[in-house]
Structure 1
């Protein structure tokens, strides 16, 4: 009996594979170029086999999901038999009604009455016993603990806290981190449930400089986020974005907030949390 095609990969499967590749890179099993190439392939992988090929030669402790292969089920003979009975019943009713001079019975009505009593019962379907559900830990961007976790997971994934810019969209619960490539290009890492490296890079801005993300106190940053609505004089405003970068020698944390009536403003502070300006 022929096997069904390979199972298609989910986003969580691709994210788990990326974590395995990051671990292998940190262990020295992969070079930078190998890690980059495999990570890009993992991001666009279609099936679980595609993902397994990317990690099959690595020493890893994380097992990728391996659903048991399923085979095509035989045709349900009972349903075929019921279908035959239905056809015979329709033909018989039409024949008798015509023979006796009665108004012919509509075939659709006979079909409906015949099939109503032959609906197959719903059978619950269980997952294969060897499939372990994987729950991705969500990112939290407005608390000290959440910001620490966000930075720690980024550093664990990419091996450095030296970045060009951190841009957090609180209204969409996602973030972008910009980092330099070995070719001195500006590369974006998209964070929305996982890490995804944008294949397109940009020429660096000559005004931007690398800064150490780890030098920013997450508790200070969370305090600035929480205090921005009051600071701009719009208490019911919600923070839209947080931008962190160093440009022209100035360290900047820029926080924008707005309410439903489009009233809002922006707070700018240095990396120590000292507010430099407030605008509306």
Structure 2
């Protein structure tokens, strides 16, 4: 059996620790600086032992005592975690964006509350993306796609089944078959949704309007796929489209691990 310190952390473990850190900050156990530092470390932790060290000295509130990271001897549980637990990542994204000047703490808190409220209903958020990945795994038994387009109220995803393109619509609860096809430049190259670093991408999504200098905007849709005429060795990307409901739009392009590739600020 692998030693405890060699156990790899899951995305859900990282998110649960962020929730515990949020609770510790709220009841005065951690200063703002300590909370920020530990949250950053949690989002990048490789092993469960790294996460344990971040919460070992904290008192755990009763409502979070059943977190899987604290009870790893329990049977495996669903990979999906409540969207509200992604708010720690949302704070980081809303405040720091992608290296742009920091917003005020109050703006970060407001963005966090908005993200928590929207995540349950808006699929174009970190919570919505996490729900989609977990639901897709349950529906199809894998996390391989050809391409996907994510809107606030639905997700269109294309699979390659024995070389045939099949499109499905996900409404937040179930998948239904579509007769149309999606534009794809994958040329048969698969995309694994499991490669998406959900906490990091959730942070970027939350901070996307500030990143493209469109503070009043919101994410309109998200594309997951290959770029047009992408070299054979190219990796798939996540394209985030932000708009203000008018003529102003901006985009953020990421690798699946959340690494920024290109930012096009709003005109």
Query: Could you say which TM-score interval applies, normalised by the shorter chain?
Result: 0.3 to 0.5
Which structure has more relative contact order (CA 8 Å, sep 6+)? It is 2
TM-score normalised by length of structure 2? 0.47
Larger Rg: 1
Structure ranking higher in helix proportion: 2
